[in-house]
Chains A and B, each alone.
Chain A
């Protein structure tokens, strides 16, 4: 399915214009042509979920559960017991936080085959404010057994993740970040494997583990590191769980490991890496870069990234500062 979407350059750009949520809706509309057991459910966010065309083409395959997210996932679990493959969409915070107990019960405990699609993760909901931001969702879901957690880097990867989620016989959480006109990470087809991170570059100094839209930011920073003669390797962690442990093994000889995410530094990708690093007696310092620990005044997307020191400049400066301190320690 996915291959038909991507071989034309304009299709990759088309998906990027849609943004991650629109790309998801488009991918699901393509996927359902071949997979008749797919059913889409939404918490009154049909168009916002990118499912407008899906609904027009397959009105009998979309259920609007209303603004009642706990019901949304309960109904999805019921559909799963009837051998449907439900993709249930809402804002990430309403999925992970408001419906946490339903996810724990139906996805975790009962291992029902539901696909939870949380969009607008991070600060993508902009002026909707803190009530709609999802900066704790990975943390809230990660400890629940049985769930696979995806956080795609760009819109092409959203299509890959959507197909992969269908093929997994078990519950999945898909975390969609960013807004329209999403940066393109993959300009051509590539091999995607669940739980296998994707490596960019081969620097030996700093290993940057990034997820979601932050992968594109990390890649943009490469030229600045080049100018400073600092070698970087970037890992696209598209699958938060199960985590690719080999990426940790490949990073043990670096001078610094950095986690980069549009999520709290507590409980997200940085914590996943820390959980794995602690298995080793010696390992590089881990710098966790994510959202600030306190809630802040709301603003549009770019404003919120800047307010959380997640602009390219701020990220670069943070990394360089710690890298230099580690270098001084090494020289002592």
Chain B
């Protein structure tokens, strides 16, 4: 799997959403992306890409699209 596919899979597995919902998906758009779900998503992404995010980035991770930008800062290329 390439990085984009890994990224998408983490979203699907962690939040239990369908792939068609991902575009434009923002924090708290679905019940599973609540504060606890957010931290779980962050932890799964960290494990998937073998990175450790700063608190500011965890808080700034507000949407599916924003995540690409943040992970780029950790040398995860899409």
B45, closest chain A residue (CB)? A10
Q: Say yes or no for A173: interface residue by CB 8 A criterion.
A: no
B58: min CB distance to chain A, Å: 6
In angstroms, Cα B44 to Cα A17, docked, is 11
Please tell me if B73 contacts chain A, counting CB pairs below 8 Å: no
Contacts of B34 in A (CB 8 A): 52-53, 56
Note all chain A residues with C-beta closer than 8 A to B58.
17, 180-181
Kindly state whether residue A47 has any CB partner on chain B within 8 Å.
yes
- The interface on chain B, measured as residues whose beta carbon lies within 8 A of the other chain's beta carbons, has a size of 15
Q: Is B15 an interface residue (CB 8 A)?
A: no
Instruction: Answer whether residue A170 sits at the interface, using C-beta atoms and an 8 A cutoff.
Output: no
Q: How far is the CA of A29 from the CA of B36 in the complex (A)?
A: 11
Does residue A22 face the partner (Cβ distance < 8 Å to B)? yes
Within 8 A of A (CB), among B20-37: 31, 34-37
Question: Closest approach, in angstroms, between the C-beta of A102 and any C-beta of chain B?
Answer: 30
Note all chain B residues with C-beta closer than 8 A to A47: 35
Chain A 11-35: CB-based contact to B (< 8 A → 1; otherwise 0)? 1011001100010011001000000
Count the A residues whose beta carbon is within 8 Å of the partner chain — how many?
A: 19
A167 to B31, CA, bound (A): 31
Helix, strand, loop or mixed for chain A's interface?
helix
- Structural contact, A10 and B43, CB atoms closer than 8 A: yes
A9 within 8 Å of B (CB atoms): yes
The answer to whether B36 and A18 have CB atoms under 8 Å apart is: yes
Q: Are B36 and A10 in contact (CB under 8 A)?
A: no
Residues of B within 8 A of A13 (CB): 43, 46-47
Residue B42, interface by CB 8 Å: yes
Contact with B along A42-66 (1 / 0, CB 8 A): 0000010010110010000000000
- Tell me if B43 and A17 are in contact (CB < 8 A): yes
Q: Which residues of B contact A18 (CB under 8 A)?
A: 36, 39
Q: How far is the CB of B67 from chain A (nearest CB, A)?
A: 15
Chain A residues whose CB sits within 8 angstroms of the CB of B37 once the complex forms: 53
C-beta contact mask, A148-165 vs B, less than 8 Å → 1, else 0? Answer: 000000000000000000
Known: A18-B36, A52-B34, A56-B34. A180 touches B43 (CB 8 A): no
Taking the complex as formed, is B40 at the interface, i.e. its CB lies under 8 A from any CB of chain A? yes
Beta-carbon contact of B47 and A22 below 8 Å: no
User: Any chain A CB within 8 A of the CB of B2?
Assistant: no
In the complex the two chains form, is B55's CB within 8 Å of A181's CB? yes
A136 to chain B, nearest CB (A): 28
The closest CB in chain B to the CB of A54 belongs to: B36
B39 contacts A14, C-beta separation under 8 Å: yes
CB contacts (< 8 Å) of B39 on chain A: these are 14, 17-18, 22
Q: In the complex, A189 Cα to B34 Cα: how many Å? A: 27
Is the CB–CB distance between A10 and B46 below 8 Å? Answer: yes
B43 to A53, Cβ gap below 8 A? no
> In the complex, what distance in Å separates the CA atom of A53 from the CA atom of B44?
19
Tell me whether A52 and B47 are in contact in the complex, defined as CB-CB below 8 angstroms, given that A180-B55, A181-B58 are known contacts: no
Residue of A nearest to B56 (CB): A181
Residues in chain A near residue B44, CB distance under 8 A:
10, 14
Most buried by A among B34, B36, B54: B36
Cα–Cα distance between A125 and B50 once the two chains are bound (Å): 31
Given A50-B35, A52-B34, 16 new contacts (CB under 8 A): A10-B46, A10-B47, A11-B43, A13-B43, A13-B46, A14-B39, A14-B42, A17-B39, A17-B43, A18-B39, A25-B36, A50-B36, A52-B35, A53-B34, A180-B58, A181-B58
Could you list which residues of chain A lie within 8 angstroms of chain B, going by C-beta atoms? 9-11, 13-14, 17-18, 22, 25-26, 29, 47, 50, 52-53, 56, 179-181
